[in-house]
Chain A
Amino acid sequence: ILNVEQSPQSLHVQEGDSTNFTCSFPSSNFYALHWYRWETAKSPEALFVMTLNGDEKKKGRISATLNTKEGYSYLYIKGSQPEDSATYLCAFTTGGGNKLTFGTGTQLKVEL
């Protein structure tokens, strides 16, 4: 069983704060790491798919980094806004297995 762990489980920040979450995954036989944003009553939407060690991706105020050797990825949100409130999921897959295993997510609440 491949375990993907995310921390923290939940996070409350004030509008304008910058924040980050962690996704840890087994580093052996790495293939791809995905980040998804999941708003309440909606379906998960992809933010990033990362495959290379040292990869950094950015979409607006959200960015992510990847370290495949040590098995972690960070998601950063700069200047959090209330509309950033959502659950952020990471998911991991190994080469050949083709099974995307999701973490349980970090639930972010941005307060005014």
Chain B
Amino acid sequence: DAGVIQSPRHEVTEMGQEVTLRCKPISGHNSLFWYRQTMMRGLELLIYFNNNVPIDDSGMPEDRFSAKMPNASFSTLKIQPSEPRDSAVYFCASSPRQGMGGELFFGEGSRLTVL
């Protein structure tokens, strides 16, 4: 079975450029989560969706970050404009249960480097 698929796996960009990270959750899962991993703060929840609807985006650092889930099989996390401090690994995860009762299935992450 296909797991959570993220793209790109690696992205190197220059400050000020727009970055779009993509995620395809596991089919049938109705919750999707975006996390950011840094050395300083570990895994931080940025936003999560239930049934394609954003439920909690309080972890999104600022207006430069936005996330969408236009359908059950696709989500994007966009950073515009990007800054060096956005450099991190961004993980997408999905869960078969709404909210946090069920285990999360993580993608392999997108490593972003902003120069």
Contact = CB atoms under 8 A, between A and B. Distances in A.
A46 B104 contact: yes
B42 A99 contact: no
Interface in A14-49: 31-32, 34, 36, 42-46, 49
A interface, how many residues as a size bin?
Answer: 20 to 34
B56 A43 contact: no
Counting contact residues on chain B (CB < 8 A from A), the size range is: 20 to 34
Contact of B101 (A31, A36, A45, A102): A31
A34 B106 CA distance: 14
A85 interface: no
B99 A98 contact: yes
B109 interface: yes
Contacts, number: 54
Contact of A100 (B55, B58, B98, B104): B104
Interface in B100-115: 100-109
Interface in B23-79: 33, 35, 42-45, 48, 55-56, 58-59
Contacts of B99: 93, 98
A98 B56 contact: yes
Closest 6 CB pairs of A and B: A46-B103, A43-B106, A93-B100, A98-B99, A102-B43, A104-B42
Interface of A: 31-32, 34, 36, 42-46, 49, 51, 89, 91, 93, 98-105
